[in-house]
Amino acid sequence: MKDKYLKEEAKIICPMRVLLVNAPSERDGKFFKRAGVRWPAPGHKYKDSKDPGRYVAFPFFLAYTAALLKESGNSVYAIDAVALQMNETDFYKAVKKRSPELTVIETATPTISLDLKYAEWIKKNTNSKIILVGPHASVFPKEMLRHKFIDYVAIGEYEKTVEELVEKLSKSEQVNKVKGLAFKKSGKPVVNKRREIIQPLDQLPFPARNLFPIDSRPDIGLYWDGICTHYPAIKVATSRGCPFNCNYCLWTQVMYPGRKFRVFSAKRVADEIEHVIKKYGAKEIYFDDDTFTGNREHALGICRELKKRKIKIPWSAMCDAIVTTEEMIREMSEAGCKSIMFGLESADPKVLKKVGKPIDLEYIKKVLDWCNKYKIVTRITNCYGVTGDSEESIRKTFEFSSSLPVHSVQVSAAIPYPGTRFYNEVKKEGSLTEKDWDNYDGRQLVSYPQLSGEKISQLAKELSEKYHRRKRRNPRWLVNAAKSVWREFGLKGLLKVSARNLKRIAKGEF
């Protein structure tokens, strides 16, 4: 049977050699997270795949695209240079070795200068056609096409656009009617009508995890999120979109605009989990959605399917506390959920209204109490510098967050990414302090009349240090944190984390 299968495989004629790229992103000693990241930002280098301090995003869009192209019989290659922390020289060697006819490069705002640099090199040294994808190229397709070495741009959710483009190119057909595509006609940029969002999502195959981070040495265990505690922890998508309307959200305004919440069926999700357990030895699942709990029936359906099949594996998810009910929390716990990340961002009702986030602060307390009741670890996120923020509102957010029964609070700067209402608002009112895309790297980029950018940065540092001082005084929190690291990474991992924290204490960062 195996020999017969191989013979049938040999008969397949591959129309094109396609390379999917998450290009090197190191600049000034920082590695920038790009593909698979909703908030592109710099990250720290890590020494090995068992480093508990690392964060490596899985490039879902690239992986779904790769799977579609493989199904069509193409020769598909992938290089996730960010996950591999690959340097420029090794990247160039890997690209030349694959001799692509079409190269798909995912872009992001803080790395766009690097993205264009690598695109130009690939065009010059392989003569491959170049298509840019991802949020930055989606917002500025005409600007991207003004570069002679860029042939195409796929706008927004790009899997089906790239698939159709490859089909047209392999048949030497015109691409002028490919929806979601921007291209050149007589040397001038042309932007086609935007492609409809993929619906239903079940038509997408499982992402081609067997090609990442590089097709010659796949290692899905390399992808990691700090919310996880079991190795390997494999990321699975169960939905796309969000029913809410926050003005700063890049994905729901650029990659798939609108408030449509689309889901993979519970059966499909359970099938994929069984697949990654069997093929990749998954010990934990992270549901990497915009919001796992955006629809009650969706979340409950997955939980019930997991219990029905007796799939016993711990999992975590990014959720919202807006529509999450006690029933959902109970079902999630019974189905294996051990950890949830909630987006709070602000605890000032006036700021939340301006941002467009309809969260009830009293209700989130109830949700967190339910999580504790059903033994689910919780984390929340704060974002300083959002629309309408003031020193008073930021301190109010800090005090509220510190009072909550959560494991940790993650603080980030509010970045006005191009294509969002937030970006348009601060640009129009003159509150945007930076025009250089290279500086959209996690630093503070807005300065309001009532709150300067310097003050926002000062508050972020001051309040973060204050929060960690409070946590370190809680013996129970310290013991639970140490147990979590010890359980998965052993003594070596615990020593690494301890050494890292001691250095931060010495520097006055804690």
**pLDDT of amino acid 105:** 98
d(CA 494, CA 343): 28
* Average pLDDT of span 113-138: 97
- CA-to-CA distance for 158 and 92, rounded, in angstroms? 25
Shared domain for 393 and 259, answered yes or no, is: yes
The conformation of residue 47, written as its DSSP 8-state character, comes to: S
Q: Per the omega criterion (within 30 degrees of 0), is the bond before 416 cis?
A: no
- Residue 82 backbone dihedrals phi, psi, to 5 degrees: -70, -45
Domain assignment present for 447: no
CA pseudo-torsion sign 35, 110, 422, 465 = positive
Model pLDDT, residue 487: 52
What are the tokens at 46?
């890590």
305 and 393 in a single domain? The answer is: yes
Average pLDDT over residues 12-22: 82
Q: 246 and 135 in one domain?
A: no
Report the side by side order of strands in the sheet with 188-191: 75-80, 17-22, 102-106, 129-133, 152-154, 181-185, 188-191
Which range has the worst mean pLDDT, 41-45, 221-225, 365-369, 405-409? 41-45
The answer to whether residue 281 sits within a structural domain is yes
Number of H helices, E strands in the chain: 17, 18
Angle between helices 296-308 and 266-280 (to 10 degrees): 50
- Per residue in 73-91, pLDDT (tens digit) is 999 999 999 999 999 999 9
Residue 500: domain span: 474-510
Q: At a CB cut-off of 8 Å and minimum separation 6, what does 187 contact?
A: none
The pLDDT tens digits of the residues spanning 224-267 come to 988 888 889 999 999 999 999 899 999 999 999 888 999 999 99
Q: Which of 396, 413, 430 is the last residue of a domain?
A: 413
Q: The CATH number of the domain where 186 resides is what?
A: 3.40.50.2300
- pLDDT (mean) for 179-203: 96
User: The domain spanning residue 335 has which CATH number?
Assistant: 3.20.20.70
Q: Is residue 276 part of a domain?
A: yes
Query: Which residues are paired to 377 by β-bridges?
Result: 339
Tally the domains of the chain. 3
pLDDT digits (tens, 9 = 90+) for 268-307: 999 999 999 999 999 999 999 999 999 999 999 999 999 9
Instruction: Indicate if the pLDDT at residue 473 is higher than 60.
Output: yes
Do 353 and 279 lie in one domain? The reply is yes
Mean pLDDT, rounded, for 10-19: 68
Separation CA 73–CA 116 (nearest Å) = 29
The structure's pTM equals: 0.90
Q: pLDDT category, 486, cuts 50, 70, 90?
A: low
Quick check: is 244 in a domain? yes
Token look-up 């094109």 returns 16
In a domain, 300, yes or no: yes
Looking at the domain assignment, is residue 465 inside a domain? no
Residue 138 has a pLDDT of 98
Average pLDDT, the chain: 90
Short-list 285, 300, 203, 171, CA closest to 236: 285
Q: Which residues contact 59 (CB under 8 A, 6 or more apart)?
A: 22, 35, 36, 80, 106, 212
371/494 same-domain check: no
Residue 167 covered by a domain: yes
Residue found by looking up tokens 């209204």 in the block: 353
